[in-house]
Structure 1
Amino acid sequence: MGSDSKVRSFEEVSSHNKIKDCWLIINGKVYDVTPFMDDHPGGDEVLLSATGKDATNDFEDVGHSDSAREMMDKYYIGEIDMSTVPLKRPYIPPTQAPYNPDKTPEFVIKILQFLVPLLILGLAFAVRHYTKEK
């Protein structure tokens, strides 16, 4: 276990939320996973998304192996003061594009938004041209 073990506040832990400075709370313990960011099988984004909250459920839902759990010991830096952990996490709206259920690439959507009205307009002109009385 890390030599810097002590009781940490939620505010302190949640401020470590960057690729080069990443701490997580799992099962009441605080881990500095910064050295593991490049090696995490799920990528650094998975670890970053678990900052600023109690990441226990995120960790347990994945079903980590015994060896992964043993590896955590070298990243342990202390305990979390549970009285400082908020009961509810504030909602932070997503900063990405709106939900795209069929995973259509965004450029295809933009092209279709441009082309569909043109196609409808062209069809309207064609219908008008061919239905004119002669």
Structure 2
Amino acid sequence: MEEQPKLFTREELKSRCTRKDAVLIIHNEVYDVTKFLAEHPGGEEVLLEKGGQDATESFEDVSHSSEARSLMEKYKIGDLVEADRVQSKNAFAPQWSNDQAQEQGNAWTSWLTPLLLGVAATILYRYLFA
């Protein structure tokens, strides 16, 4: 049987913003980032500034990599209680994917349009100035 995650209220988390006890709320999940403060590439100040608060918007604004997102999982300590959860706005919903086949499929289309425009410009130039 799967263990239920520990539930927290925003009220009980709001004071947890020190170097000895720092938590963040991201997408209604609670992360204890105390041990990660020194390792965070953006510096501990960035995490402490949002300590005890919902950091979803700030987290998504930075466009963290899929590696950073998977690293987060080891710091997860629970979820917000249902009454304190915020509906995810599309702008802040997780938008990552490890589907490399899809990324590679889109890669060739990114250079196809400029290539075709270049060929068309060359043909037009030769026609007008020949």
Quick one: distance in 2 between partners of 1:85 and 1:48? 21
TM-superposed CA distance for 1:82, in Å, is 4.9
3-state DSSP class of the match of 2:23? strand
Higher mean alpha-carbon deviation, 10-19 vs 65-74, is at 10-19
Other-structure match for 2:27: 27
Aligned counterparts, 1:30-41, within 5 A: 30-41=30-41
Greater fraction helix: 2
State TM-score, norm by structure 2: 0.59
Residue 30 of structure 2 contacts residue 80 of structure 2 at CA under 8 Å; is this kept in 1? yes
How much is the aligned-residue C-alpha RMSD, in angstroms? 2.1
State TM-score, norm by structure 1: 0.57
3-state DSSP class of the match of 2:38? coil
Other-structure match for 1:64: 64
Alpha-carbon displacement from aligned partner over 1:62-112 (angstroms, at most 9, x marks no partner): 0000000000110000001252479xxxxxxxxxxxxxxxxxxxxxxxxxx
> How many positions carry a matched residue from both structures?
84
Asked which structure has the greater CA Rg, the reply is 1
Structure 1: tracts of 5 or more residues without a match: 87-134
TM-superposed CA distance for 1:5, in Å, is 3.4
Q: Give the AA of the match of 2:6.
A: K
CA spacing shift, 1:55–1:43, aligned 2, 3 Å: same
Quick one: distance in 2 between partners of 1:62 and 1:53? 17
Quick one: distance in 2 between partners of 1:14 and 1:28? 14
